[in-house]
Structure 1
Amino acid sequence: MTATRDIVTGAALVALGTLMIWIASGFPQIGAMAFGPDLFPRIIASGLILSGLGILLEAARGIAPASEGSRLQALPILILLALVAAFAVLLPVLGFHIAAALALLIAVWVFGGGWPIATAVAPLAPIVLHFVFYSVLRVPLPWGPLTQVAW
């Protein structure tokens, strides 16, 4: 049963990644930029394909997940989905910096990082990500209540 589920999951990830690359190849290119709007979808799709191939390889070798049958096994995925949904809802209201800091604080703590690491990562990572998106990629991010200090 597990091998069949892993084969289906791995094949689905490979198919989804391939579809994402195909769709992203149709995105328009922007002027003289070395990269375009297809860059991040292609990076994510490559990760999906590699993950799918890894799952397929483990299924072919007969490697089963360590903890089968636990009801709490899906909890991390559900928490991650809830965090992504909450981030999407809160982004326009709180702005990128606050919404990302809250999401990171919860994610790092829930996934085992502990409070010291969570409180260190949560305020710093949004600033670094903002620099990458705003200054390097020229993607504006919402500021929310921090609009007065926007740069």
Structure 2
Amino acid sequence: MKDVILGLGFMVMGGVIYGIAQDYPTLPSLQYGPSLFPSLIGGGFFIGGLILAIGSARSVVGIVRGADAHRLVDIRGLAVSFLPCLLVIFYVLCSDLLGAALTMTLIMVTLMRLRGVSWLLAIGVSVVAAVAITLVFSRYLLIPLPEGQLGLWG
């Protein structure tokens, strides 16, 4: 059941991403514009979610008909499955205040601790990875990331 719900969730997110990307401006001199990659990502989410939901539908029908009806919904497993999506929303909402580096660090620590990594290793790896990502994007690729209103980076 978890996979069916996840599949439907990814289909909805893919549709929303694709719809939002269609509102992006187009460039008159190019056949593609800023909406190309978000549209591809949204389409991939939708197709992947559809495949996941259809592939899991048989097992749900078997569980409903069979003796394993108590395994129909695993709330903890479902919450853990949606956590990365919720953390992306957290990044979008909080990166302007906290800054990209601190927000990425918090997200990575959360995901690593969820998998049972020790606090010391999770914090160390997260800080190094966030600083490396921020440096690569801001210094080498010249893509500005939110510095945050707290003034912790920059």
TM-score for both structures, normalised by structure 2:
0.60
**What does 1:124-139 correspond to in 2, within 5 Å?**
124-130=128-134, 131-132=136-137, 135-136=140-141, 138-139=142-143
Q: Which amino acid aligns with 2:51?
A: G
Question: Over residues 44-75 of structure 1, what are the superposed CA-to-partner deviations in whole Å (9 max), with x where a residue is unaligned?
Answer: 31331232232233145x13499533342333
- For residues 1-151 of structure 1, what are the structure 2 equivalents within 5 Å? 2=1, 6=4, 10=7, 13-14=10-11, 17-18=14-15, 20-21=17-18, 23-29=20-26, 36-59=33-56, 62-64=58-60, 67-77=71-81, 79-80=83-84, 83-84=87-88, 86-110=90-114, 112=115, 114-115=117-118, 118-130=122-134, 131-132=136-137, 135-136=140-141, 138-144=142-148, 145-147=151-153, 150=154
Matched residue type, 1:146: L
RMSD of aligned Cα (Å): 4.1
TM-score where L is the length of structure 1: 0.61
Give the aligned length.
142
- Aligned counterparts of 2:138 and 2:28: Cα–Cα separation in 1: 18
Tell me if structure 1 keeps the 8 A contact 2:137–2:145: no
Change (3 A) 1:134 1:34: farther
Unaligned runs of 5+ in 2: none
